Amino acid sequence: MKFLFVTLFPEQIEQAANHSIIQRAVNKGLVEISCINPREFTHDVHRTVDDTPFGGGAGMVLKPEPMVAAIRKAKEQLPNARVIAMCPGGRTLKQSIVEEYAHCGQDFIFVCGHYEGFDERIFNWVDEKLSIGDYVLTGGEMPALIVMDAIARFIPGVLGKLVSAEEDSFSTGLLEYPQYTRPVSFEGLEVPEVLRSGNHALIASWRLQESLKATYFLRPDLLTEEQLRFIEKPLPYKMKKSQRKFWEELRSKIAAAKAELAAQAEVDASKELQEIAAKEDEMNG
Ligand code: 4G0
């Protein structure tokens, strides 16, 4: 898969491409990375790429002529590419978008901006605006590199043989379950017994329960209606015995975790009261 970056700072891209997994992918010929610098398409002595905004306001705006000339050149080189402009106001990236990109069979042109953004007219040469999250950075290069990295993981051969991006927790739509490696006991903290049992069905069930539990507490917005209903409401009657056991176990896990959180909150509150009392004593001599 080919990735072309339209950027005023190609060194930033080249530097990132010379590291670990992405570099290996490039060396294996699985990924091709190149850059086009809009500054090469300026004609004045100062090689001007930006200017002050019409209507006033702080900051500079990227001029349309060099940007569009660079995008045109990029499209000549990758005629089958999707042209994506990295902007804070774009559609927010998530794993399902990454998967769609990875499987669409197209190459990618990332248009990276700086300053206060692009002249609006360049978007006539762009397929979509994309953001990696609700924050503003000094340039679109890091966001574009993040998008490339996320896509590249899906190209067969980029990750190790035994790892598959398709099996990522996020591709299941849930948060990841806890992982452990040797030693079995570390500073008094034990690896859960079930993971050492060798019972693969039990392990799979434990992992799914842990993923569901973590998602329920931290990102309930990721759960489907059905998953939420199963977790929160008493179980419906028609269900296989093993299935019923799974959800009952999960519900009791969640109840235990909730009780632990509540107990901790109580401890924290009483600590705080003690501290306030101690400070008052101090003040009153
Ligand atoms: C375009 C993307 C590009 C417009 C780019 C800034 C964050 C992201 C840039 C602006 C970026 C992101 C309007 C400030 C360059 N920062 N969240 N900075 N404006 O993906």
Q: What is the pLDDT of residues 212-236, one digit of tens each?
A: 999 999 999 999 999 999 999 887 7
Q: What phi, psi does 146 have (nearest 5°)?
A: -65, -45
Q: Verify whether residue 116 is a known catalytic residue.
A: yes
Residue 110's beta-bridge partner residues?
Answer: 5, 84
pLDDT band at 162 (very low <50, low <70, confident <90, very high): low
- Which protein residue's CA is at the shortest distance from atom 6 of ligand 1? 117
Q: Is 227 in the pocket of ligand 1 (CB under 6 A)?
A: no
DSSP-derived pairing of the beta strands 185-186 and 189-190: antiparallel
SS (H, E, C) 1-56: CEEEEECCCHHHHHHHHCCHHHHHHHHCCCCEEEEECHHHHCCCCCCCCEECCCCC
Best residue for ligand 1 mutational test, from 123, 137, 147 (most atoms within 8 Å of Cβ): 137
- Average of per-residue pLDDT values in the chain: 95
For residue 80, the CA-to-ligand 1 centroid distance in Å is 25
Q: What is the pLDDT of residues 15-40, one digit of tens each?
A: 989 888 999 999 999 999 999 999 99
Helix axes 141-152, 20-27, angle to 10 degrees: 60
Query: Measured on CA atoms in the order 195, 199, 202, 204, is the torsion positive or negative?
Result: positive
Q: Is 142 in the pocket of ligand 1 (CB under 6 A)?
A: no
pLDDT at 163 over 80: no
Of the residues 38, 141, 153, 251, which is catalytic? 153
Q: How far is CA 36 from CA 17, 123, 248, 260, in A?
A: 15, 17, 57, 55
Q: Verify whether residue 221 is a known catalytic residue.
A: no
Sheet with 2-6: strands ordered across: 32-36, 2-6, 107-112, 81-92, 128-131
Q: Is 132 in the pocket of ligand 1 (CB under 6 A)?
A: yes
> Mean pLDDT over residues 78-107, rounded?
98
pLDDT at 171 over 80: no
Contact status, residue 85 vs residue 131, Cβ threshold 8 Å: no
Q: Is 10 in the pocket of ligand 1 (CB under 6 A)?
A: no
Best residue for ligand 1 mutational test, from 87, 111, 146 (most atoms within 8 Å of Cβ): 87
For residue 93, the CA-to-ligand 1 centroid distance in Å is 13
Using CA atoms, how far apart are residues 249 and 213, in angstroms rounded to an integer? 11
The three-point CA angle 119-86-167 to 5° equals 165
For residue 135, the CA-to-ligand 1 centroid distance in Å is 8
Using CA atoms, how far apart are residues 53 and 278, in angstroms rounded to an integer? 58
Ligand 1 atom nearest residue 135's Cα: 17
Q: Is 143 in the pocket of ligand 1 (CB under 6 A)?
A: yes
Q: Take residue 283 and report the two structure tokens written for it.
A: 């003040």
Q: Is 113 in the pocket of ligand 1 (CB under 6 A)?
A: yes
Cβ count within 10 A of residue 94: 13
Q: Is 136 in the pocket of ligand 1 (CB under 6 A)?
A: yes
Secondary element (H or E) of residue 243: helix 241-283
DSSP-derived pairing of the beta strands 61-62 and 50-51: antiparallel
Q: How is residue 224 annotated by DSSP?
A: -
Q: What is the pLDDT of residues 249-265, one digit of tens each?
A: 999 999 999 999 999 99
Residue type for position 38: P
Q: Is 267 in the pocket of ligand 1 (CB under 6 A)?
A: no
- Tell me the pTM: 0.91
Using CA atoms, how far apart are residues 170 and 98, in angstroms rounded to an integer? 11
